[in-house]
Amino acid sequence: MTDDPDRSRQGRDAVDAAVRVTLRPTATPLPISFLGLALASTVFAVVELGWLAPDQGRVAALVAVAATVPLQLLAAVFGFLARDPVAGTGCALMAVTWAVTGLTTLTSPPGATVPGLGVLLLAAGAGTLVPATAGSATPLPAAVLALVGVRFAVTGVYQLTASPAWGATAGWVGLGVAGVAAYAALALELEGVHHRAVLPVGRRGTARAAAQGDEVFDAGELAREPGVRPRL
C-alpha cells in the first residue's frame, strides 16, 4: 500500500502548525512603573516632611493622578501581556492606590488627614507584600514592592492618627522608596539596552538563568501554560 503524498504533506503541515511558537518580545514594563512611583512618592514626601506648604499637596495629588497612575496602569497591562504576574499585579495595585490617594488629596482641605484613606493604605500595604513575596527570584523589584508596602502602611497610620511624627516618618520612607525605585528603573533599563546586568539586580535561580540565556526551554511546558491549558 502506498501513502498518499498530499495526505502526508497535510499531516506534516498539521504537526508544524501544532508546534509553531511565535514570539512577540516586549521590554520590561517595570522601569516606567518605578519612575512613576518615584515621582509621586517624592512630591508627597516633601509635603509630608513640611518642606513645602500643605496646599502643595494638590500638586502631589495631580502628579499621582496624571503621571504615576497612567504609567503604572500601562506597566500593569504589559506586565500581564508579558506573562509576568508579579509585575502586572504589583503595578496594578500601586496604580489604583495612588489614584485613590491622589483624588482624596485633591478633594480634601490642605493638610487634612482622612481615616478612610488610612484604612485603604494599610490594606494596600499588606496587599503589596503578595507580589513582593512571589517575586523573590528578582530581589530588586521585590524590594521596591516591599518598600512600597511599608510606605503605604506608614502613611496609613499617619492618616489614621494625624501624628506629625508618623507624617515625617512617611516622608522619609517615601524618599527612600523614590531612591530605590529610581535605581531599580535605571538597572533594569540598562539591562534591557545592553542585554546583560550592568548594575546589580540580584537575580537568582531560574530568573538569573533566563536573563543570561542559560535556561533550557522545554516545549512540553507549553501545554501547562495559561491560555493553552483548558483551565487557569
> Is 186:192 a contact under the CB 8 Å cutoff?
no
> Is 28:188 a contact under the CB 8 Å cutoff?
yes
At 187, list the grid cell: 538597572
Higher pLDDT, 220 or 116: 116
Domains recognised in the chain with CATH numbers: 30-199 (1.25.40.600)
65 pLDDT higher than 80:
yes
pLDDT bucket at 25, cuts 50 / 70 / 90: low
> Is 180:144 a contact under the CB 8 Å cutoff?
yes
5 pLDDT higher than 80:
no
| Closest among 102, 88, 100, 95 to 130, alpha carbons compared | 88
State the Cα–Cα distance between residues 192 and 100, nearest whole angstrom: 32
Residue 228: count other Cβ atoms within 10 Å of its Cβ: 9
Taking residues 117-121, what's their average pLDDT? 97
> Is 68:36 a contact under the CB 8 Å cutoff?
yes
> Is 158:170 a contact under the CB 8 Å cutoff?
yes
CA distances from 144 to 41, 83, 88, 133, 176 (A): 12, 20, 14, 11, 10
pLDDT bucket at 173, cuts 50 / 70 / 90: very high
User: Cell 521585590 identifies what position?
Assistant: 142
Taking residues 159-171, what's their average pLDDT? 96
pLDDT bucket at 232, cuts 50 / 70 / 90: very low
Amino acid letter at 64?
A
pLDDT bucket at 40, cuts 50 / 70 / 90: very high
State residue 222's pLDDT score: 52
φ, ψ for residue 210, nearest 5 deg: -65, -40
9 pLDDT higher than 80:
no
At 79, list the grid cell: 506586565
